[in-house]
Structure 1
């Protein structure tokens, strides 16, 4: 593995959380905790990009569709999507 050493500064609560994970034996080092967190962050960003690509494709498809949707139907559609998204919203 090609590696590069970085020096980072974290808030005390985050540093303590990392140390607790190492002390508990869940991870063998602070670096391992950070690498795992970075992998999760990368996965989340990739998922977000996929969702955005899907939305963009749907918007392009809708723009090319000659049918028109009534304002009320469109409002209902987005209200339903918002309600669905709120179920997964993080506190």
Structure 2
């Protein structure tokens, strides 16, 4: 593992106050630890966002690659009407 590097970070007064309060409360040992934790959370969020985006892209790919013919607006409306009617029947039985 390479040695840690020192950087300068500019924060708002409110952000710095929150960091310092967290350290003073014993939640973290130092401001550096707070910022490292924040970066880890940021990295995790970016990975999760990338995973969600890949799922969306895969769905779009499957849709574009679907060999079934496209439906007209009338066909979509008719299919939705059938689905809604079935859902109403199912709800009435329950």
Task: Sort the TM-score into its range (normalised by shorter chain).
Answer: 0.7 to 0.9
Gaps of 5+ in 2: 81-94
* d(CA) in 2 for partners of 1:69, 1:44: 38
1:61 maps to which residue? 62
The Cα shift of 1:54 comes to 0.7
Pick the structure with greater CA Rg. 2
2:27 maps to which residue? 26
TM-score by length of 1: 0.73
**1:11-69, Cα deviation, whole Å (9 max, x unpaired):** 00000000000000000000000000110000000000000011111101110002335
Aligned pair count reads 74
* d(CA) in 1 for partners of 2:32, 2:48: 24
* d(CA) in 1 for partners of 2:4, 2:55: 34
TM-score by length of 2: 0.71
Gaps of 5+ in 1: 77-91
